[in-house]
Amino acid sequence: MEKKRELRTIAFFGTCPASSGKTLVSKRINYPFQIKQIAASFAPGVERLMRLEFWISPDDSAPTSKPLTGYNILTELGHVGYITGDDERKELNIETSRYERGYFLKVFAQNFDTVEHTIDCQVTIELIYEED
């Protein structure tokens, strides 16, 4: 069976309140997929006081604190499950395991600062269509 593949970029944008957490959730992904790239922009002044985690989850809940349900994508890359930064854009080229249809992507931001910060991320996935 031949498989058609298509890249899609899912944007996440919002604000994480001071000394708090925030979860942004994608729409349900209706086809099998793999993560190909994660990108995040950190504004000047963040000073690495906001952490971003990227999750694949079977539900669309959006908790403001942990634990999230699902799988932290960044644990495939290293010993920490988050990225952080200041006045920079980070791009992580990865290839995760294949996930079946019906999952959601989540970005969980944890802000340790005394002011709110912007969440500005993109996750590029490859949809896998099975053709007869």
Residue 131 pLDDT: 67
Residue 67 pLDDT: 80
Residue 89 pLDDT: 98
Residue 1 pLDDT: 61
Half-sphere exposure of 34 (CA within 13 A, CB side): 13
Strand locations in 1-132, DSSP E? 3-16, 20-25, 33-42, 50-57, 71-72, 88-93, 104-111, 117-130
Domain of 105: which CATH number? Answer: 2.60.120
- Counting beta carbons within 10 angstroms of the beta carbon of residue 116, is it exposed (0 to 12), middle (13 to 18) or buried (19 or more)? middle
Structural domains counted in the chain: 1
pLDDT digits (tens, 9 = 90+) for 39-56: 999 999 999 999 999 999
Residue 132 pLDDT: 52
Question: What residues contact 83, with CB distance under 8 A and at least 6 apart?
Answer: 38, 40, 51, 52, 74, 90, 92
Structural domain boundaries, residue 49: 3-130
| Integer-rounded Cα radius of gyration of the chain | 15
Question: What residues contact 40, with CB distance under 8 A and at least 6 apart?
Answer: 52, 83, 85, 89, 90, 120, 121, 122
Mean pLDDT by 10 residues, the chain (132 residues): 88 98 97 96 97 96 88 86 97 90 97 98 94 60
